[in-house]
Chain A
């Protein structure tokens, strides 16, 4: 590189690539450093774009909640879904999701690739009990008029998704909640960024951040020191380790999710299906993806026979014709989790030139377009297109007793 980059982005997952893209769009000299580690959430992700589903607890979170409730029967049995996330975050996800149609076209033009953004029937939460129906109706009542959740009868569900088992109680359809290929999305952001002048270095291990008083001076990477004006920490589950090298306590931890993928099938599912045992979506090349567990097991990216079985069981119960279908692969990824399940974005008090872009947990893919924008705006000192105060790291500092 001819001159020092103004900004270094650490981490080439979907968030790091999105931030790099938005900085490159603003003509900022930016360098993206990446080391592909096992368990990267972007590579492991299902690619569901379910902003409302995840925010109100009708997506992947419901599986975790059901499993926890089952494991703790003595516990409070009257809640039949996870607590909804704050409205500020729900609206952030909805806004980000709305960017996908234009973004897909933009990346096709700039990067020459198709991110497999696939509008389908929407996200269909399968209602299997009266308790689940009550939960869905509560959720529906709590939504502002602009956000719609359609409660469907069993007959309507059967018409919408004929492959689904027949004895369901009903469904909740979230229109506009589709899917994408998460790896191609990251690759598209990256290539478009390179096209716009960004630099990219793969296979570089960033060992630390160097600070000079209250300022970031640069990063230690692959045995050399790279000076820069600003650093974006987009290291996903590993972001806490990186922040620690600059003396920051960033509460991000890996949350394992296991996934099962079938062999390639003819068109079988119209919607993305969500049940209390698993979610299912058919990908662009015909495989049905079945997820996912929520496990706190450190950086271990192993799959377990028990989880594979439980996902297969959930899948064949929901869609009986999958019984004879072969499993092609099972894998695990590490979602970057945070104590309040919200991302950690933006600057940190007391360390100039440092910015977080991590903690995407279950929604990193759908949040990526808007996260890229907002973080780039923070780095540039522009006014934010979406208020980001709720996502600052300092929210955790306040809660620490002094």
Chain B
């Protein structure tokens, strides 16, 4: 077992900011990330073998990423980074189990910051399992980091500002972006404007994306929803229909677009599995993407010494993630005796102020992008809803009819959520069906229980003696 004073899981905006704040306070944090390169989904850099991204000057988001990575690298001497290292378990209270190709071990952390980020929410709809249907994040990863074009003709659909970001990146990567299909109607966007005006910088950033898409003649279809992807073995057509306030499609007015790629995502779901394994008390917050750990003002969960920062504690975007990471890093440093009360108070004050302002802006966005009930109507009886167990909606509905409206019974009866993804993909949508059918809230339906291992690891690997082949502080080149 390895013992460290501060361990940070996740090297995205929140994790990097936490490491920077802690290292600046004199700590030597350890940062773990399952990806080969740091930066998280948003700031991850392409491997050095690939030429740098060409084209127009960096967007303000990309500039923030470069700046953050630069500050992180300046403190690298203090920070241990373990990349390609998955956290497969978290044993109470703060003992992390990690594995890599070079072995597995457990790390007992005096202070632990979880910054695992979020994953995209895709409710099942007919054709969503066809090759060529992917999340905007997956398309972004291919285009931006791997320099691979996911297709030729693409429709970007769902909700939220991330669609605009991805549409622009795909356009720059040379794809024909046929349309951005946004479920939120224009009138609602206008109505939300006053709250969004609270942060002119961010609003301006969003408008910048809109402007560039307009210049590229990419239409934004508001108040519309993709109801189906069609094709024989891969996507050929995307069906789009106007929808109402509740996002219920009007199929009588549907039309089809010829496309080979469909990027679809309706916002994000926090990755809370590690926090759940640690036994953190959870609460349901629709506006934050679902179940999140309860935290105090300094982001400490109900498990002492365990903090959650960034989208993993509630989806709020990269800027909030950075501020939260900084706050968590400062708080951990304070608890470990590196910052006295006065220095901590001084350092956290401006962070809290910025967070309050950002959260107001986010509240406006969140209200706008809140997932509505109409999406639950997209899946037909034959639509696969649990990809791991290949269950159709009809099979799940049968399980519900037979009284499987508590999670355990539904799992037993249908095997929903019994696959390798442990319900990450199917549960957010299934919980909404159950809630609708039983007249309960998603909060009452409850979260799915989580079991280790969270990442793929073989019996042979776990059978090995704990320890890394190249020593506990094994570092991988940045």
**Is B453 an interface position by the 8 A CB rule?**
yes
Say whether A308 contacts B413, CB under 8 Å. Answer: no
**Is B246 an interface position by the 8 A CB rule?**
no
Query: Which residues of chain B from 426 to 478 have any CB-CB distance to chain A below 8 Å in the complex?
Result: 449, 451-453, 456-460, 462-464, 466
B305 to chain A, nearest CB (A): 17
**Is A330 an interface position by the 8 A CB rule?**
yes
Pick from B422, B453, B460: contact of A324, CB under 8 Å: B460
Number of interface residues of B (CB under 8 A): 31
**Is A118 an interface position by the 8 A CB rule?**
no
**Is A397 an interface position by the 8 A CB rule?**
no
A39 to chain B, nearest CB (A): 11
Say whether B466 contacts A309, CB under 8 Å. Answer: yes
A290 to chain B, nearest CB (A): 8
Question: Within the assembled complex, what's the spacing in Å between the Cα atoms of A305 and B88?
Answer: 10
Selected interface stretch from B18-26, B59-67, B89-97, B232-240: B89-97
Selected interface stretch from B218-226, B293-301, B401-409: B401-409
**Is B412 an interface position by the 8 A CB rule?**
yes
Say whether A309 contacts B463, CB under 8 Å. Answer: yes
**Is B204 an interface position by the 8 A CB rule?**
no
Question: Within the assembled complex, what's the spacing in Å between the Cα atoms of A331 and B419?
Answer: 15
Say whether B412 contacts A183, CB under 8 Å. Answer: yes
**Is A234 an interface position by the 8 A CB rule?**
no
Question: Within the assembled complex, what's the spacing in Å between the Cα atoms of A308 and B464?
Answer: 11
Residue of A nearest to B408 (CB): A36
**Is A316 an interface position by the 8 A CB rule?**
yes
Q: Knowing A308-B452, A309-B463 touch, does A203 contact B458 (C-beta < 8 A)?
A: no
Binding site secondary structure of chain A: mixed
Scoring A residues 305 to 316 as 1 if CB is less than 8 Å from chain B, else 0, what string do you get? 100110011011
**Is A327 an interface position by the 8 A CB rule?**
yes
Question: Within the assembled complex, what's the spacing in Å between the Cα atoms of A327 and B461?
Answer: 10
**Is B420 an interface position by the 8 A CB rule?**
yes
**Is A326 an interface position by the 8 A CB rule?**
yes
Say whether A308 contacts B462, CB under 8 Å. Answer: yes
CB neighbours (8 Å) of A263 from chain B are: 420
Say whether B458 contacts A191, CB under 8 Å. Answer: no
CB neighbours (8 Å) of A329 from chain B are: 422, 451-453
Most chain B CB atoms below 10 A, which of A202, A260, A302, A327: A327
Say whether B452 contacts A330, CB under 8 Å. Answer: yes
Residue of A nearest to B97 (CB): A305
CB neighbours (8 Å) of A296 from chain B are: none
**Is B106 an interface position by the 8 A CB rule?**
yes
Question: Within the assembled complex, what's the spacing in Å between the Cα atoms of A303 and B95?
Answer: 12
Residue of B nearest to A285 (CB): B415
Binding site secondary structure of chain B: loop
Question: Within the assembled complex, what's the spacing in Å between the Cα atoms of A298 and B349?
Answer: 44
Question: Within the assembled complex, what's the spacing in Å between the Cα atoms of A183 and B418?
Answer: 13
Residue of A nearest to B413 (CB): A187
**Is A103 an interface position by the 8 A CB rule?**
no
Scoring B residues 82 to 109 as 1 if CB is less than 8 Å from chain A, else 0, what string do you get? 0000000101100101000000001000
Scoring B residues 337 to 353 as 1 if CB is less than 8 Å from chain A, else 0, what string do you get? 00000000000000000
Question: Within the assembled complex, what's the spacing in Å between the Cα atoms of A316 and B402?
Answer: 39
Residue of B nearest to A314 (CB): B463
Question: Within the assembled complex, what's the spacing in Å between the Cα atoms of A302 and B450?
Answer: 11
Question: Within the assembled complex, what's the spacing in Å between the Cα atoms of A361 and B452?
Answer: 25
Query: Which residues of chain A from 303 to 358 have any CB-CB distance to chain B below 8 Å in the complex?
Result: 303-305, 308-309, 312-313, 315-317, 322-331
Residue of B nearest to A264 (CB): B419
Pick from B106, B415, B457, B466: contact of A326, CB under 8 Å: B457
Question: Within the assembled complex, what's the spacing in Å between the Cα atoms of A302 and B94?
Answer: 13
B469 to chain A, nearest CB (A): 17
**Is A43 an interface position by the 8 A CB rule?**
yes
CB neighbours (8 Å) of B106 from chain A are: 305
Question: Within the assembled complex, what's the spacing in Å between the Cα atoms of A29 and B91?
Answer: 45
Say whether A327 contacts B462, CB under 8 Å. Answer: yes
CB neighbours (8 Å) of B413 from chain A are: 113, 187
B278 to chain A, nearest CB (A): 10
Question: Within the assembled complex, what's the spacing in Å between the Cα atoms of A315 and B459?
Answer: 8
A361 to chain B, nearest CB (A): 22
Query: Which residues of chain B from 362 to 410 have any CB-CB distance to chain A below 8 Å in the complex?
Result: 402-403, 406, 408-409
CB neighbours (8 Å) of A203 from chain B are: 406
Residue of A nearest to B456 (CB): A326
Scoring A residues 43 to 63 as 1 if CB is less than 8 Å from chain B, else 0, what string do you get? 100000000000000000000
Say whether A309 contacts B462, CB under 8 Å. Answer: yes
Scoring B residues 136 to 178 as 1 if CB is less than 8 Å from chain A, else 0, what string do you get? 0000000000000000000000000000000000000000000
Question: Within the assembled complex, what's the spacing in Å between the Cα atoms of A323 and B453?
Answer: 16
Q: Knowing A36-B406, A316-B463, A328-B420 touch, does A187 contact B458 (C-beta < 8 A)?
A: no
Q: Knowing A305-B97, A329-B422, A329-B451 touch, does A323 contact B406 (C-beta < 8 A)?
A: no
**Is A140 an interface position by the 8 A CB rule?**
no
Say whether B459 contacts A316, CB under 8 Å. Answer: yes
Say whether A330 contacts B406, CB under 8 Å. Answer: no
Chain A residues at the B interface, C-beta cutoff of 8 Å: 36, 38, 43, 113, 183-184, 187, 191, 202-203, 260, 262-263, 285, 302-305, 308-309, 312-313, 315-317, 322-331
Known: A302-B91, A304-B91, A327-B458. 5 other contacts (CB 8 A): A36-B406, A113-B413, A302-B92, A308-B452, A312-B463
Q: Can you give 22 A-B contacts (C-beta < 8 A)? A: A183-B412, A187-B412, A191-B403, A202-B406, A260-B459, A303-B89, A305-B466, A312-B462, A312-B463, A313-B463, A316-B463, A317-B463, A323-B460, A323-B463, A324-B458, A326-B420, A326-B457, A326-B458, A329-B422, A329-B451, A329-B453, A331-B451
Give the top 5 A-B pairs by smallest Cβ distance, nearest first: A323-B460, A313-B463, A312-B462, A183-B412, A329-B451
